[in-house]
């Protein structure tokens, strides 16, 4: 998966959702113990990246996004100077065989966005539990209230937008060439106007 952050992949060894069978184009919100577990897993996974070089950033980060798509959870942690940690996990895998895919680092470098700005900090494809997925996440300005992507299958994929960040993912390798071909997304602003913007790294 293309990214400008430190990157980790820990493939899930087994799980109860082969081939992303429970995945949904519209995300749900993680709450309660389900949210606590997903956040804890992401913190634990992220702290060990790069021999712990981001451990203090992870410890000080706040939860920007905590979503679920079927059995899969995605957590985005954010902190100072553009720090981000992103983890997508199959929650049906046994805890000792559970893996994550995501990134850790400071891809935004602390640069402020314009109110209508959209910046991808993770964009591309990866593999977990032997299945490929396409992911986009990043930062948005204060006027951005929604982001959506229409896949080649016709599926309209709704991103979670929260606390200055966005994230969406879907099964398959569609975003493999995103470094060469900017990814069009539909962005909705606070005044209800809609614009097509293009994500790239």
Task: For residues 107 and 104, give the distance between their C-alpha atoms in angstroms, rounded to a whole number.
Answer: 9
Supply 30's token pair.
Answer: 């993680």
Query: Could you read off the pLDDT tens digit of each residue along the chain, which spans 201 residues?
Result: 433 344 444 444 456 677 789 999 999 999 999 999 999 989 988 988 878 889 999 999 999 999 999 999 999 999 998 899 999 988 877 655 556 788 898 886 667 899 999 999 999 998 877 788 999 999 999 999 999 999 999 999 999 999 999 999 999 999 987 777 899 999 999 999 999 999 998
Q: Residue 30 class from Cβ within 10 Å (0-12 exposed, 13-18 middle, 19+ buried)?
A: buried
Task: For residues 168 and 135, give the distance between their C-alpha atoms in angstroms, rounded to a whole number.
Answer: 6
Task: For residues 52 and 33, give the distance between their C-alpha atoms in angstroms, rounded to a whole number.
Answer: 26
- Give me the pLDDT at residue 17, please: 75
Alpha helices in the chain, H assignment, sequence order: 32-47, 55-60
What SS3 state is found at 156? strand
- Give me the pLDDT at residue 94, please: 62
- Give me the pLDDT at residue 13, please: 45
């Amino acid at each position: 998966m293309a990214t400008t952050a430190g990157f980790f992949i820990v493939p899930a060894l087994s799980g109860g959702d082969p081939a992303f069978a429970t995945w949904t184009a519209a995300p749900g919100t993680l709450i309660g113990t389900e949210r606590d577990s997903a956040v804890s897993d992401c913190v634990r996974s992220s702290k060990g990246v790069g021999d712990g070089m981001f451990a203090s950033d992870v410890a000080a980060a706040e939860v920007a996004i905590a979503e679920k798509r079927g059995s899969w959870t995605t957590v985005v942690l954010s902190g100072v100077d553009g720090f981000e940690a992103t983890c997508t996990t199959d929650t049906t895998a046994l805890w000792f065989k559970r893996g994550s895919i995501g990134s850790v680092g400071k891809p935004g470098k602390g640069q402020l966005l314009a109110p209508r700005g959209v910046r991808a900090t993770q964009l591309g494809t990866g593999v977990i539990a032997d299945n490929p997925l396409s992911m986009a996440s990043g930062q948005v300005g204060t006027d951005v209230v929604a982001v959506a992507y229409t896949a080649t299958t016709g599926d309209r994929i709704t991103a979670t937008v929260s606390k200055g960040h966005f994230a969406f993912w879907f099964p398959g390798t569609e975003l493999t060439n995103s470094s060469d071909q900017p990814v069009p997304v539909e962005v909705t602003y606070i005044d209800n106007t809609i614009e097509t913007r293009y994500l790239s790294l």
